[in-house]
Amino acid sequence: MAVVRILSAGAARAVVEHFAAAFERETGNQVRADFSAAGAVKARVVAGEAVDAAILTGALIEELISLGHLVSGSRTDLGRVGTGVAVRAGTPLPEVSNARALRGNILAAKKIVCPDPATATAGKVVMRMVEGLGIAGEVTPRMQYFPNGYTAMKWLAASRGVLEMGITQITEILANRGVTYVGPLPDELQMKTVYSAALATRAQSPEAAGDFIARLTAPSARPVLAKAGYEFDEP
């Protein structure tokens, strides 16, 4: 029995856990996955943490390949993920389909929760968005940062506050019960991120890890990935 150790960005958590369950049943191998913000995962790989595969933004995967931590030529893309807006389930849905409406509803929010922009892809998108809307100075004091979008969404689901809004990767919203996905950021404020997987250069279970990545990124996996919030180029 092999143990596949994976470090992954939170945006891939739902699909990694879904395919890990089937992989373990069918192969007898185990998957031990740990999820965090993309920047934090990269730092752990660079620090030499034992890992067989990493799932990160395509840009960070390429950086780790260039540094020698991931195997050149092993990158495989899962798909693109956009950033979206969430509210606690059962609360009114704000209008977010255009920049003017989104700006007004962000200004009206008592609290905006999102991943930490210091380490998380979605957090950087959120900060760029509020700066682009010209409201960073007004809303930053009402923003609450979390290690990743999963923890932000779990906090939002459990909160009882009013006029609270969450902004993170769409895959992290759809995977959490207790929150409602309102919609994506408007196109002019959106930044869709490609997520990719690659083998670690010091993988202890490279064959099993390669098998898992192949299952996760196969054409047959696309319906599951699409349901989770991934997008793909047309064939």
pLDDT (0 to 100) of residue 143: 97
CB 150 within 8 A of CB 11: no
Residue 41 lies in a domain: yes
Global pTM reads: 0.91
Confidence check: pLDDT of 235 > 60: no
Domain count of the fold of the chain:
2
What is the span of the domain harbouring residue 161?
83-189
- Mean pLDDT, residues 131-146 taken together: 96
Tell me what the mean pLDDT of segment 108-115 comes to.
Answer: 97
The dihedral sign for the CA sequence 225, 176, 172, 27: negative
Judge whether 186 and 83 are in contact, CB under 8 Å.
no
DSSP 147: S
For residues 222 and 177, membership in a common domain is answered with no
What's the order of all strands across the beta sheet hosting 143-146? 143-146, 111-115, 164-169, 83-88, 179-184
pLDDT tens-digit map of 179-218? 999 999 999 999 999 999 999 999 999 999 999 999 999 9
Distance CA 18, CA 116 (A): 26
CA distance 111 to 118: 19
Query: Do you know the residue count of the chain?
Result: 235
Closest CA to 201 of 69, 39, 45: 69
Residues 99 and 180 in one domain: yes
Is the separation of the CB atoms in 78 and 197 below 8 Å?
Answer: yes
- Say if residue 208 is in the same domain as residue 220: yes
Question: Are 87 and 185 in a shared domain?
Answer: yes
Sorting pLDDT into bands at 50, 70 and 90, what band is 1?
A: confident
Domain containing 110 — which CATH number?
A: 3.40.190.10
Query: Residues 172, 193, 115, CA angle at the centre, nearest 5°?
Result: 45
